[in-house]
Structure 1
Amino acid sequence: MLFAVTLAMLLAGQSVTPVTPDMIQQGSDIPKAWNPPKDQWNYIRREVMIPMRDGVKLHTVIVIPKGAKNLPMLFERGPYDATFDVKPSVPILRDAVWSALREWVDDGYIFVSQDVRGKYASQGDYVMTRPPRGPLNPSNTDDTTDAYDTIAWLAKNVPESNGKVGMIGSSYDGWTVAMALLGPNPALKVAAPESPMVDGWRGDDWFHNGAFRQGNLDYFTEQSTVAGAANPVPRLGYDDYQTYLDGGAAGVYANAHGFQQLPFWNRLSAHPAYDAFWQLQAIDKLEVAHPSHVPTMWLQGLWDQEDIYGAVHTFEALDKAGDKDNNHLVMGPWYHSQINREGRSLGPLLWPGDTTADFRKNVLIPFFDQYLKDEKPAHPLPRVMVYNPAEKHWESFSDWPAVRQLTPLYLAADHQLSFAQPAAGEDSYVSDPAKPIPFVPQPIRFDDRAQWTTWLVQDQRFAASRPDVISFETAPLDHAVSVQGDPVADVFAKITGSDVDFVVKIIDVYPPSFAEQPEMGGYELPISMDIFRGRYRKDLAVPSAVPSNEVQEYKFGLPSVNYVFQPGHRIMVQIQSTWFPVYDRNPQTYVPNIFFAKPEDYRAETISVMHGADGESAVLLPVSESR
């Protein structure tokens, strides 16, 4: 064959040169190590395996501006791939980092990102939000010791640094910051847990007051089926509402997709009540038991659709315990982790400028610089900063809640809301778990980021029109009503079944015509809303059946507010008993474990909400002033 080719070339008038050694293929065309020139790069990237006290090594990426001397280190730990923060193929650091870090690049920082144990390139066993050392974790390591050991190594082995470390991170990464504060290394000088996972049962991620957040089933497969990136639960259909409805109880759906293989799922589904499993790993309780002196900014969004509980409740717990001097609270007009992205809007709500970039540049970074660079900020950081979404500006407070004395806004006859005590009466609706109320209009896709990040500001008119939702509202306000603090839902009701959920929403109803933004005419904007599972009305740790046709009280906290209901607007309260599929359905028949309820357990029931002397149902508002 080779002869034939050569002959053909000769006949075509082409000469044949001899074969030289450099023409001969030997071995692989992929070199053992690829080291491209980086003369034009303005930073150095190092990947190291840092040993922990038990010998396990954690994969850590260190990014250092070229020519750096005496710079502080910004440290983040999480389960989401340490290589994510800085793109490996972009030569200019400001272009290589994701949006959360651009202002930090401008200010001059070394960036450190680490994979937690067992995730991506780190050694060891992965445990979802690994409990602290103690009854739930009999080992001698946890995320407190791992942060301590890593910071000790960084302080000794990054010569371009000044040996000082600040920790930051959102969601799971915010949880690792909070864990580091339980026993901080002396080189940890400042911290900012952003939307941290603090209490997975009370109001972060896994449950809200006992109601399970079903969208997390995808998170469980993505995080705990393999060490690296993984996939969500496969779908047969497009609409997650129908998918979860067809799947039955949350536990039945999960186990049909193989979740029995996942240890964290098995632990979680075996503990639907707020027992020792949850109480012993609640970060707010642990921070009070082990307070640190590290200056800390607890930060979250007012419409955080994933972790709206943790930051504010940890701050309030520390405040109550007397640990005030080094703790600050910030709540911005943001969805979950939006602090690390652009902040010009949230759904239909528009802000003057980029609230997140401005905050990072003018507040967060100066706070870190004060303790990492010994630079005095231009303005002292207030103890509490909360955005006022109605008037579109930041407000400062010396404490939070700003208003602790709560004012009842009563449910009254004819679907009215009143600050005056109403006459006795009741309003009823039928809750049917076979036809649950969607949390947003269908179709629903948990992987639709735009839908998911904005659902807490979704216009509630779609729900108000349903017969299984009851709405109460004031007349148009003739003066502004300001609320600043933590509202409480206080529902008195009787049911025909033996279990029930209550969803309570506080809503700002815009006037029919709104010149500043015409599409907001009549908009029903949720200000604060949450769910409560009725079996825990007496004791969060010990469930009990609800006696049929007997009035019971269901009292539970709602997310923090700093809001002004404007003249011409109405205040509305909506009450319903399903919120699907973001929360699993209560079968409305008492069963030991709702995760594994049978089809025959799901029954419609009549729910009667009482008002007046029969039961003073109300939302208790932190009214600061009426003007």
Structure 2
Amino acid sequence: MNHRTIAATLCLAISATAVTHAAVPTDTMMNEQVESYDWVLPHADFVRREVMIPMRDGTKLYTVIVFRKGTQDAPILLSRTPYNAQRMTTRNRSQKIEEILPVMDKEFVNDGYIRVYQDVRGLDRSEGEYVMNRPLRGPLNPTEVDHATDAYDTIDWLVKNVKESNGKVGITGSSYLGFTSLMALVDPHPALKAAVPQSPMVDGWMGDDWFHNGAFRTFGFDYDLGQTVKEGGGAVPKGTGDEYTAYLEAVSAMEYAKAYGLLKLPVVRKMLEHPMYDAWWQGQAVDKLLAKRKLTVPTMLVVGQWDQEDSYGAPAVYKALEPQDTNNDMVSLVIGPWRHSQVNYEGRELGPLKFEGDTALQFRQRWMKPFLDCHLKTDAPKCDTPPVLTYATGSDHWEVAQKWPDGNYKPLYLAGNFDLSWSKPAEGSDSYVSDPAKPVPMLPRPIHMEGDEWREWLVHDQRFVDGRPDVLSYTSGVLDKPVHIKGAPRVDLRAATTGRDSDYVVKLIDVYPEENSADPTMAGYQLALGIEIFRGRYVHGFSSPAPLEPGKTYAFKWSLPNVDHVFLPGHRIMVQVQSTLFPLYDRNPQSWVPSIMEAMPKDYVKATETVHYGGDAASAVWLPIAED
């Protein structure tokens, strides 16, 4: 047989085989689902393990351990989350470690860190029962477990079972993860060597998520529904309309909760049952818990200057712990030019503000990672952590300080003709009518407290309310030299009301020049540096609400958020005073009711608010002025 015959025979055979296979019938009723698919393939550059770590009460917590292949003698960086550890470690289903983890993890896993995420007790794939911000075991928690014990047991398991580690653990995370990071400092495991709590939830009544100085923050309802419902959770089903209208029509927090079926949620009932700063709130304030213990773990506290959710917590913990830090090397404070949690994303801008480069990346690379390296690495480099690190907005650069606040307080007085004065002015007063039926909006309407609108609302141009008859705006002359403030401005507002209760909102604002050719979008811009509220019934103490005496002048004192800012020459300083900031805060009915949460339509009344200046009733904002 010649080669042509052989080739022809082979072709016939192949064709016959093909026809034979094509003729085999396909079983169309065969179950085509398979049990599982391991998306981490052999050529992946990382190892990803899922484990269930047992706690002391037998509950097992779902934990994901991720590190680059070949990692040895490595520090562990832990985050304990209510936001789904599985999802947080599969940002993309990639075979590259940088792609599957959050952006902030890149610098760490590329330098040999082991990254660990864990679902907190009772959420997602972890066993057990979930309690929002579970209090420390004790009077408010009769069980034997809390976030402190769960962190301890987790760290104990990790250092004993992750053979690639060097036995040293750090903990970090923002918001709720900042809270769990702080709780790990209560009776900490010996292997816990460093902590970086970011924008931590610390005191939900004084100034974090749920209340600010007694005024209830309504957006918490959406968070509660999304966080505590297994099926059907998410945002409150009020549609896509103006939230200003939705909350106004609901009348009060209680009626809103009733209208949307939220009283089924234990956490909502707790909020409604505890409108004042009682033992329930005080007993779970993390700054108070930590102040009673000796700090043994080096801690770097981080917050954004325009944190719209948890501006209070990090500075409060710093204030509580700093007296223990006799060598100025155990607790440090970082304030960046960020919104809530922006430290873990890109930090080049916030709304209309542009900064000198990616400030969040700068912080992570220059300060956060070296801080963790020096405490966690084997043969660690020497620590050189700034006691205080802040970003000076206005002049746009990082600054190191030895203490905080880093300025000397000087009063900037409200004065006649709606001026601001560095010296006490002549006596006088200004008045406005506060109408709960027409509250001052937090943003131009329609309002949707979500997305960028929510994330960036604190830097919105305040001209949209300047000139309203129920907003008083006091403005300085044009500055001929810079005014640099470093600390939390303090409000001393001397005011009276014709009602029996009232809220007061004060805004500290940087007014840009009307002509600004370098950046026309900022011409005349009114940039808020701090916005904070005070509920008048608490003027005698946050745990002892009482009606106000109509016509009597009271000294309402509270603080604005911490800030490092330079008012530049050519700018002006403004202070705005108003009585509503809606719908972020529930409305004060301005009559006396035992609980504003349960106010009814008849309780809401107009009131005339009078702000005094000069003499013995000199209203002022005390600015922490730095000596540059």
Quickly name the TM-score band, shorter chain normalised: over 0.9
State the distance in 2 between where 1:558 and 1:19 align: 77
State the distance in 1 between where 2:545 and 2:25 align: 78
Alignment of 1:310-459 (within 5 A): 310-322=313-325, 324-374=328-378, 380-403=384-407, 405-447=408-450, 449-459=451-461
State the distance in 1 between where 2:31 and 2:141 align: 47
Cα gap change, 1:257/1:567 in structure 2, threshold over 3 Å: closer, same or farther? same
Please tell me whether the aligned partners of residues 302 and 331 of structure 1 are also in contact (alpha carbons under 8 angstroms): yes
Out of 503, 510, 513, the residue aligned to residue 511 of structure 1 is 513
The one-letter amino acid of 1:474's match is S
State the distance in 1 between where 2:116 and 2:240 align: 41
The one-letter amino acid of 2:480's match is D
Corresponding residue of 1:6: none
Please tell me whether the aligned partners of residues 239 and 443 of structure 1 are also in contact (alpha carbons under 8 angstroms): yes
- Counterpart secondary structure, 1:245: helix
Per-residue CA deviation, residues 123-176 of structure 1 (Å, 9 max, x unaligned), is 110000000011000111000000000000000111111121110100000000
The CA deviation at 1:440 is 0.9
- Counterpart secondary structure, 1:62: strand
State the distance in 2 between where 1:32 and 1:95 align: 26
The CA deviation at 1:230 is 3.0
State the distance in 2 between where 1:147 and 1:379 align: 25
Cα gap change, 1:26/1:521 in structure 2, threshold over 3 Å: closer, same or farther? closer
The CA deviation at 1:34 is 2.9
Corresponding residue of 1:136: 140
- Counterpart secondary structure, 1:38: coil
- Counterpart secondary structure, 2:356: coil
The CA deviation at 1:33 is 3.5
Cα gap change, 1:316/1:67 in structure 2, threshold over 3 Å: closer, same or farther? same
Out of 601, 604, 607, the residue aligned to residue 602 of structure 1 is 604
- Counterpart secondary structure, 1:252: helix
- Counterpart secondary structure, 1:362: helix
- Counterpart secondary structure, 1:429: strand
Corresponding residue of 2:7: none
Cα gap change, 1:375/1:582 in structure 2, threshold over 3 Å: closer, same or farther? farther
Per-residue CA deviation, residues 60-97 of structure 1 (Å, 9 max, x unaligned), is 11112112211111110011000122216211111222
State the distance in 1 between where 2:25 and 2:112 align: 47
Alignment of 1:182-331 (within 5 A): 182-226=186-230, 230-322=233-325, 324-331=328-335
State the distance in 2 between where 1:145 and 1:22 align: 60
State the distance in 2 between where 1:320 and 1:559 align: 21
Corresponding residue of 1:71: 74
Please tell me whether the aligned partners of residues 56 and 124 of structure 1 are also in contact (alpha carbons under 8 angstroms): yes
Higher mean displacement: 338-347 or 323-332: 323-332
Corresponding residue of 1:101: 105
Please tell me whether the aligned partners of residues 85 and 118 of structure 2 are also in contact (alpha carbons under 8 angstroms): yes
Pairwise CA RMSD: 1.9
The CA deviation at 1:105 is 2.4
Corresponding residue of 1:471: 473
The one-letter amino acid of 1:451's match is E
Please tell me whether the aligned partners of residues 55 and 61 of structure 2 are also in contact (alpha carbons under 8 angstroms): yes
The CA deviation at 1:503 is 0.4
Corresponding residue of 1:111: 115
State the distance in 2 between where 1:538 and 1:375 align: 54
Corresponding residue of 2:173: 169
- Counterpart secondary structure, 1:406: strand
Please tell me whether the aligned partners of residues 89 and 117 of structure 2 are also in contact (alpha carbons under 8 angstroms): no
Count, aligned residues: 609
The one-letter amino acid of 2:222's match is D
The CA deviation at 1:36 is 5.8
Corresponding residue of 1:60: 63
Corresponding residue of 1:621: 623
Cα gap change, 1:374/1:161 in structure 2, threshold over 3 Å: closer, same or farther? closer
State the distance in 2 between where 1:62 and 1:554 align: 50
Per-residue CA deviation, residues 307-351 of structure 1 (Å, 9 max, x unaligned), is 000001110111135564310110000000000100000111101
Corresponding residue of 2:564: 562
State the distance in 2 between where 1:212 and 1:44 align: 45
- Counterpart secondary structure, 1:610: strand
State the distance in 2 between where 1:42 and 1:321 align: 44
The one-letter amino acid of 2:609's match is I
| TM-score normalized with structure 1 length | 0.94
The one-letter amino acid of 1:514's match is N
The CA deviation at 1:377 is 5.0
The one-letter amino acid of 1:276's match is A
The CA deviation at 1:504 is 0.5
State the distance in 1 between where 2:626 and 2:42 align: 60
The CA deviation at 1:20 is 10
Check if 1:150 corresponds to 2:154. Answer: yes
Cα gap change, 1:440/1:378 in structure 2, threshold over 3 Å: closer, same or farther? farther
Cα gap change, 1:375/1:601 in structure 2, threshold over 3 Å: closer, same or farther? farther
State the distance in 1 between where 2:395 and 2:39 align: 53
Corresponding residue of 1:8: none
Please tell me whether the aligned partners of residues 183 and 292 of structure 1 are also in contact (alpha carbons under 8 angstroms): no
Check if 1:86 corresponds to 2:71. Answer: no
- Counterpart secondary structure, 1:435: coil
- Counterpart secondary structure, 1:423: coil
State the distance in 2 between where 1:206 and 1:356 align: 27
Corresponding residue of 1:3: none
State the distance in 1 between where 2:147 and 2:232 align: 21
State the distance in 2 between where 1:66 and 1:389 align: 41
- Counterpart secondary structure, 1:493: strand
Corresponding residue of 1:580: 582
The one-letter amino acid of 2:496's match is K
The one-letter amino acid of 2:80's match is R
Higher mean displacement: 18-27 or 91-100: 18-27
The one-letter amino acid of 1:249's match is S
Unaligned runs of 5+ in 1: 1-14
Please tell me whether the aligned partners of residues 425 and 614 of structure 1 are also in contact (alpha carbons under 8 angstroms): no
Corresponding residue of 1:534: 536
State the distance in 1 between where 2:339 and 2:346 align: 11
Unaligned runs of 5+ in 2: 1-17
- Counterpart secondary structure, 2:576: strand
Higher mean displacement: 455-464 or 33-42: 33-42
The one-letter amino acid of 1:489's match is V
Check if 1:121 corresponds to 2:138. Answer: no
Please tell me whether the aligned partners of residues 311 and 561 of structure 2 are also in contact (alpha carbons under 8 angstroms): yes
